[in-house]
């Protein structure tokens, strides 16, 4: 079976999100529906409907206190972000210029809907009563959703739904939305690994999907711009507007609050984390909230730069 699963979609062999998203090239011709069917259900998901092995237990230290507060805020926010992404991306399916690209976006819609589902379900695994899921999500993440996700959604829907601009939509997704949120996901996998392995497995699976979304999205935009060079000025303008919007949003404050909560939990449960290294040569227990956040922001800037260059849009930097 592993013979049919491409390396970049295989849970054991795939590169990390950053290496993968920065170094891999994948086009919709390769990453069409047939590719997805062979790669994702068996290779990335291994049949794990919840994104982690079914027998995994959430440790007690995750069920209350600052770690519970940190992960519920994070996963509630990301569940809403993924659901909004799935809904917005669905507008790209009918606009896609050819069948492979249409199939790719259909699979991306499914991927994002699945990410929303596994983040949401993990809240239940952590102890949120299933029937209270919606109000709890609003309680812990409603403020961040309104101040960050609603303006981003409005910006994306104006391009994808109201103007039916396929290229604009692809660029907004790969540069502004996913490119900016993906490094936070990489940080998440690394920091939750020793504390909540199920969460880290969920993040790993979502991260592998994001490699595909970012690389194929960039390849689609690149090809489209090669065929329609006259679109370049307005796409550059769109990226700059998107970046200005992003800079105005309180993303930093949100991440800082989550990292502060994580820090309190980390100090309380340092013996569980032990010598685990968040990146080579650096023990998680020795890191600070600012350091972790700074690292993720650095990744984000680096990824954005490489993608923009690849698409021929480096002037936006």
Where on the chain is the footprint of Fe ion (CB under 5 A)?
82, 112, 115, 210, 213
Smallest distance from Fe ion to CB 117, Å: 11
Q: Report the residue number, 112 or 153, with the smaller CB distance to Fe ion.
A: 112
DSSP code, position 233: H
User: How far apart are the C-alpha atoms of 162 and 35, rounded to whole Å?
Assistant: 31
Q: Which is nearer to Fe ion, 116 or 235 (CB)?
A: 116
| Alpha-carbon gap, residue 137 to 76, rounded angstroms | 5
For Fe ion, the closer of residues 21 and 235 by Cβ is 21
68 or 105: whose CB is closer to Fe ion?
105
Q: Which long-range contacts (CB under 8 A, 24 or more apart) does 102-105 make?
A: 103/28, 103/32, 103/33, 103/36, 104/28, 104/31, 104/32, 104/33, 104/36, 104/216, 104/220
Contact 11, 5 (CB under 8 A): no
Minimum CB–partner distance for residue 64 and Fe ion (Å): 28
- Token pair of 252 as six digits: 């930093």
Rounded to a whole number of angstroms, the minimum distance from the CB of residue 82 to Fe ion is 5
φ and ψ at 120, to 5 degrees? -60, -50
Q: Which is nearer to Fe ion, 201 or 210 (CB)?
A: 210
| Dihedral over Cα of 8, 12, 18, 23: its sign | negative
| Closest distance of CB 302 from Fe ion, Å | 18
Q: Which is nearer to Fe ion, 67 or 306 (CB)?
A: 306
Cα–Cα distance, 99 to 257 (Å, whole number): 44
Rounded least distance, CB 110 to Fe ion, Å: 11
Find the shortest distance in angstroms from Cβ 108 to Fe ion.
Answer: 6
């Amino acid at each position: 079976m592993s013979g049919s699963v491409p390396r970049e979609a295989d849970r054991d062999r795939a590169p990390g999100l950053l290496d993968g998203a920065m170094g891999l090239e994948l086009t919709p011709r390769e990453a069409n529906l047939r590719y997805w069917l062979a790669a994702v259900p068996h290779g990335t998901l291994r049949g794990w409907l919840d994104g982690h092995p079914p027998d995994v237990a959430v440790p007690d230290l995750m069920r209350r206190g600052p770690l519970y507060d940190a992960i519920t805020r994070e996963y509630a926010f990301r569940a809403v972000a993924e659901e909004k992404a799935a809904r917005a991306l669905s507008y790209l399916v009918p606009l896609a210029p050819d069948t492979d690209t249409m199939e790719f976006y259909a699979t991306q819609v499914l991927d994002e809907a699945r990410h929303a589902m596994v983040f949401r379900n993990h809240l239940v695994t952590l102890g949120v009563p299933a029937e209270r899921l919606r109000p709890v999500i609003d309680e812990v993440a409603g403020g961040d959703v309104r101040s960050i996700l609603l303006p981003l959604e409005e910006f994306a829907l104006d391009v994808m739904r109201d103007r039916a601009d396929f290229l604009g939509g692809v660029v907004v997704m790969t540069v502004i939305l996913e490119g900016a949120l993906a490094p936070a996901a990489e940080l998440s996998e690394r920091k939750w690994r020793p504390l909540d392995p199920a969460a880290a497995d969920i993040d790993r699976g979502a991260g592998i999907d994001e490699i595909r979304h970012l690389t194929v999205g960039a390849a689609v935009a690149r090809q489209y711009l090669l065929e329609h060079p006259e679109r370049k000025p307005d796409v550059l303008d769109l990226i700059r507007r998107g970046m200005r919007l992003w800079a105005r949003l309180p993303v930093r404050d949100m991440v800082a609050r989550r990292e502060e909560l994580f820090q309190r939990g980390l100090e309380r449960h340092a013996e569980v984390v032990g010598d685990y290294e968040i990146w080579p040569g650096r023990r998680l227990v020795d890191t600070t909230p600012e350091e972790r956040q700074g690292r993720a922001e650095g990744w984000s800037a680096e990824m954005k730069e490489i993608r923009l260059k690849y698409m021929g849009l480096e002037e936006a930097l």
